[in-house]
Amino acid sequence: MEIDPFIFRFSIFILSIFIGYYVVWSVTPSLHTPLMSVTNAISSVIIVGAIIAALSGNEDVIFSSSSIYGFLAIILAAVNIFGGFLVTQRMLAMYKKKKKDK
């Protein structure tokens, strides 16, 4: 009997939860705020769905009832992607070690 492709995706999902579990426990507590902002940014990979939705219309009707939601989602996700990664970068740049010459 053939295995439903859903099972493969479900396996990836479950294994990723475990990866997430171990990876996140190894994050140092002082970086928990950047962790939240970067997870914010990467969860905006949902933009993939937004792009598919936005391009679902044809040449004549670019803004159909379904693609309009895609375009809205693109804006939201883009705010998050740029905002999330940049603010994380800004925060991480501030974490400095003690200077030796001090």
Partner 1 sequence: MSANVSATLYLISGVLFILALRGLSSPETSRQGNLFGIIGMIIAITVTFLSVGNFTSGFIYVLIFLAIGGTIGAFIAYKIPMTAMPELVAGFHSLVGLAAVFVAISAFINPEAFNLGTPGNIKLASLIEMAIGAAVGAITFSGSVIAFLKLQGIMSGAPITFKGQHALNALILISIVILTFYLCSTQSSNLFWILIAVSFLIGFLIIIPIGGADMPVVISMLNSYSGWAAAGIGFTLENTALIITGALVGSSGAILSYIMCKGMNRSFFNVILGGFGATTGTTGDKNKEQRPVKSGNADDAAFLMKNASSVIIVPGYGMAVAQAQHALREMVDTLKKSGIKVSYAIHPVAGRMPGHMNVLLAEANVPYDEVFELEEINNNFANADVAFVIGANDVTNPVAKTDPQSPIYGMPVLDVEKCKSVLFVKRSLSPGYAGIDNDLFYRENTLMLFADAKKMTEDITKNL
Footprint (CB under 8 A) of partner 1, residues 5-34: 5-6, 9, 12-14, 16-17, 19-21, 23-34
Question: Of residues 48-87, which lie at the interface with partner 1 (CB under 8 A)?
Answer: 48-57, 59, 62, 64-67, 69-87
The CB density around residue 78, as the number of other CB atoms within 10 Å, is 13
Beta-carbon contacts of 54 under 8 Å, excluding residues fewer than 6 positions away, are: 67, 70, 71, 73, 74
Q: Is residue 101 at the binding interface for partner 1, with CB under 8 A as the rule?
A: no
Q: Is residue 39 at the binding interface for partner 1, with CB under 8 A as the rule?
A: yes
| Torsion, CA 61, CA 63, CA 69, CA 73, rounded to 10 | 120
Q: Is residue 99 at the binding interface for partner 1, with CB under 8 A as the rule?
A: yes
Give the pair of three-digit tokens for residue 93. 């740049």
* Measured distance CA(28)–CA(73) in Å, rounded: 33
Q: Is residue 93 at the binding interface for partner 1, with CB under 8 A as the rule?
A: yes
Please, which residue, 1 or 5, has the CB nearer to partner 1? 5
Please, which residue, 1 or 49, has the CB nearer to partner 1? 49
